[in-house]
Amino acid sequence: MALHKVADTGRYDDVYTMPLSEQVLPKYRIPDDQSDPRAVYALLRAELALDGNSSQNLATFCTTWSDDETRRLMDDCLDKNMIDKDEYPQTAQIESRCVHILADLWNSPAGRETVGCSTTGSSEAAMLGGLALKWRWRQRRQAEGKSADRPNLVCGPVQVCWEKFARYFDVELRQVPLEPGATGLRPHQLASYVDENTIGVIAILGVTFTCDYEPVAELAAELDRIQAATGTDVPIHVDAASGGFIAPFVQPELVWDFRVARVASINTSGHKYGLAPLGVGWVVWASAELLPEELIFRVDYLGGDMPTFALNFSRPGGEVIAQYYNLLRLGREGYRRVQQACLDTAQVLAGEIAEMGVFTLLYDGRGALPAVSYRLTDPDARFSLYDLSDQLRMRGWQVPAYPLPPDQQDVVIQRVLVRHGIGREAMSLLAADIRTSLKRLTVGAPADAARTGFHH
């Protein structure tokens, strides 16, 4: 009879009986010994379960759903460094294709001569656009023999990246107060803030607070009037972090992009409504001469020259590949269907919110981003929107409540963002939970005897 040697399969089989599982995980000092990867993975995965459920995170603009093909491409690109154009030339080519596709999508007059780049997100992209504005303004002032030491940037209610830009790069941020009933910057407000030291005006295509679009064409027309009256020529940078992947597909008649002659540059986020995974943004200039040469660094690329412009250095290439994958997979019609489905769902939710009788809609999901924003109709209600947010968290929903920017900081609103992967059923469940929460907040908590307990 044959003899069979039984191999040692290891002393520890169950991950929760391994040494690492029987201690509190180190938090301030690297462990002395190595651990079984199965145990490390299981323990970290269990700890991450304490995070919120991303599909119920209605506060974020960012992509929280990706298909299997995207995940496989991300795995394939785990070792690709986006900064190394000479080592990963095809990834660089794909980045270039995305820039040209976006330039075409945003009606760039320069066509294939347009310049742009990928970034880590829309915040870095916005800062690059701001730097180009500052450099061009400084060049013009110096050529005219004038002082260039007091640049300012004019904007309405903006995302915090613009406040960071102003602080980091020594630019005065002239943030125009929000008027009663307004959802963003309005053209008639510009004349009181723009002057010869203004490097540009930021127009937001999808205001962070209200989700509405600022009127880019009308803002440009007002700047035309100001130039005719004063000679001050001020360009526009469009922060289309969210709207840049919405408007071209579902609001094609809206003139906001490079069709407006005063628009010098546009940034967007690939990982928001561009549907790519977290970690990619884009900035495109209307023409190459609008990006000052002094800001560009050049690297060897297949024996040639590759210009680069970034605040970052090493970063993964997978998100750029995933962006191109989505552009190829969906095309115009696919993006239109995805974004229209999100808009339709937001509008249905807005109808539900309005029917509850206690809210006043600020934005109903029509004409801009797929979202809903609202405030309490009665300022003296027995509860606040912060209380409602807390109640909804008990069911896992993350619905932010926050005050509007100055001069409407006394108005507290809630905002719900509808993204790819959030369907009609989820919003129906949210509406039902809002109604349940309102009842609890207005009537009060039930007596202990009426509460549902555990039955096991």
- pLDDT tens digits for range 20-34: 999 999 999 999 999
Sign, Cα dihedral of 258, 263, 264, 266: negative
Mean pLDDT of all residues in 127-140: 98
Whether the Cβ atoms of residue 251 and residue 367 lie closer than 8 Å to each other: yes
Q: Is the pLDDT of residue 306 over 60?
A: yes
Q: Is the pLDDT of residue 360 over 70?
A: yes
Residue type, 90: Q
Enter the CATH code of domain 72-326: 3.40.640.10
The Cα–Cα gap between 251 and 240 comes to: 14
The predicted pLDDT at position 5 comes to 67
Q: Is the pLDDT of residue 10 over 60?
A: no
The Cα–Cα gap between 434 and 431 comes to: 5
The average confidence (pLDDT) of the chain is: 93
Q: What percent of the chain has pLDDT over 70?
A: 94
Whether a cis peptide bond, with omega within 30° of 0, leads into 8 is no
122-160 burial: b if 16+ Cβ within 10 Å, else e: bbbbbbbbbbbbbbbbbeebeeeeeebeebbbbbbbbbe
The predicted pLDDT at position 450 comes to 66
Strand, coil or helix: 283: strand
Enter the CATH code of domain 332-440: 3.90.1150.160
The predicted pLDDT at position 253 comes to 97
Whether the Cβ atoms of residue 271 and residue 64 lie closer than 8 Å to each other: no
The DSSP call for residue 140 is: H
Task: Summarize pLDDT for 309-346 with one digit per residue, the tens.
Answer: 999 888 999 999 999 999 999 999 999 999 999 999 99
Q: What is the DSSP string of 36-105?
A: -HHHHHHHHHHHHTTS--GGGB-S--S-----HHHHHHHHHTTT-BTT-TTTSHHHHHHHHHHHHHHHHH
The predicted pLDDT at position 194 comes to 98
Q: How confident is the model at residue 103 (pLDDT cuts 50, 70, 90)?
A: very high
Strand, coil or helix: 112: helix
The predicted pLDDT at position 454 comes to 62
Q: Which of 306, 144, 273 is nearest to 205 (CA)?
A: 273
21 vs 8, residue with greater confidence? 21
The predicted pLDDT at position 242 comes to 97
88 vs 133, residue with greater confidence? 133
Name, in order, each residue with C-beta under 8 angstroms of 141's C-beta and a sequence gap of 6 or more. 147, 148
Strand, coil or helix: 311: coil
Strand, coil or helix: 204: strand
CA atoms within 13 A on the CB side of 187: 12
The predicted pLDDT at position 312 comes to 87
Whether the Cβ atoms of residue 308 and residue 296 lie closer than 8 Å to each other: yes
Task: Summarize pLDDT for 48-71 with one digit per residue, the tens.
Answer: 999 989 999 999 999 999 999 999
Q: The whole model's pTM is what?
A: 0.93
User: Among the listed ranges 155-164, 296-305, 358-367, which one has the minimum average pLDDT value?
Assistant: 296-305
- Residue 68 CB coordination number (10 Å): 7
The predicted pLDDT at position 87 comes to 85
Strands (E) across 293-406 are located at: 297-301, 304-308, 359-363, 371-376, 401-403
The Cα–Cα gap between 247 and 238 comes to: 13
Task: Summarize pLDDT for 206-231 with one digit per residue, the tens.
Answer: 999 999 999 999 999 999 999 999 99
- The first and second tokens of residue 74, run together, are 């991300």
- Between the CA of residue 442 and those of 349, 354, 358, 428, what are the distances in Å? 21, 17, 11, 21
The predicted pLDDT at position 3 comes to 73
Mean pLDDT of all residues in 354-374: 97
The predicted pLDDT at position 302 comes to 57
Mean pLDDT of all residues in 267-295: 96
Q: How confident is the model at residue 244 (pLDDT cuts 50, 70, 90)?
A: very high
Sign, Cα dihedral of 129, 134, 137, 142: negative
The predicted pLDDT at position 304 comes to 62
Task: State residue 157 phi and psi, 5-degree precision.
Answer: -75, 110
The predicted pLDDT at position 83 comes to 84
The predicted pLDDT at position 232 comes to 97
Q: How confident is the model at residue 279 (pLDDT cuts 50, 70, 90)?
A: very high
Mean pLDDT of all residues in 90-118: 91
The DSSP call for residue 398 is: B
Burial of 112 (0-12, 13-18, 19+ CB in 10 A): exposed
Q: Where are the domains of the chain?
A: 72-326, 332-440
The predicted pLDDT at position 260 comes to 98
The predicted pLDDT at position 451 comes to 66
Name, in order, each residue with C-beta under 8 angstroms of 145's C-beta and a sequence gap of 6 or more. none
359 vs 114, residue with greater confidence? 359
